[in-house]
Amino acid sequence: MLAFGCLTAAVRLCPKIFLITLFADDDDSADPVTPVIRDVASYADGGDDDEVDPQLVGCVATLLGTVMRGSLVESAGDLGLWFNGRRIDHLDIAEKFKDMLSSSDSAVTLKLVLSAAGLFLDRLCVSPMARIAVPVLHALPRAAAESKYWLVKTEFCDIVAALPFVAIHHVTGSSDIQVPACLHVLISMRRFNMIFFPSDLPDAM
């Protein structure tokens, strides 16, 4: 976990670190099996019988979210130019976020993945590559609605508060993301308040 934290801090300062080889003298374009720093993203993937540490998956998500934010800033939204054909690229990262949100049963993982998604989604939604954010945006309310943990739902609310919904509507042409967010998460949180904190409600209620 400490190693991931150090790598994430380094990528935050210089995002291009994510794209270089593990050893300075190696060339990954000449040898596809050359170890590269971005190989650490595979820690988010478990085999058929492997149990993945929920916190480790969350650390990978934080790293990938930091990479996406840095690449969006450095490239002014031209992610294809920034990754320059290297894998994993922006498409792979978006797919990983969708999978992590859809398949994780751990509240620890979900909270960290949501926090990581919040690092870049607002910028991605107003970039020329906004369409790759749509599957992730659809997975967000489902993940938050299916989790019974309060901190997961509040993390989701923080993301929703920062999203540029005008830009999202322009990309999707519908309100398919806003409606589930309101119905399945925000209203359910309000019901929780009414049951457990009735003193906070107006007298008329």
Helix axes 150-162, 134-146, angle to 10 degrees: 150
Domain carrying residue 14: 2-200
| 7: in domain | yes
* CA distance linking residue 162 with residue 173, whole number of Å: 19
Low-confidence stretches of the chain (pLDDT < 50) are 47-49, 192-201, 203-205
pLDDT of residue 29: 56
The total number of structural domains that make up the chain: 1
Assigned token pair, 83: 């990754």
Q: Are 113 and 152 in contact (CB under 8 A)?
A: no
Phi and psi dihedrals of 69, rounded to 5? -65, -45
What pLDDT is attached to residue 66? 96
183 part of a folded domain? yes
- Taking the model in full, what pTM does it have? 0.82
**Within a domain: 20:** yes
Residue 169: inside a domain: yes
Residues 6+ apart with CB under 8 A from 14: none
Q: What is the DSSP letter of 27?
A: -
Residue 26 lies in a domain: yes
Is 89 a domain residue?
Answer: yes
Q: Which two tokens stand for residue 107?
A: 């509240």
Name the CA radius of gyration of the chain, rounded.
19
* Domain assignment present for 205: no
CA 144 – CA 186 distance, rounded (Å) = 10
Q: What is the pLDDT of residues 146-155, one digit of tens each?
A: 788 888 888 8
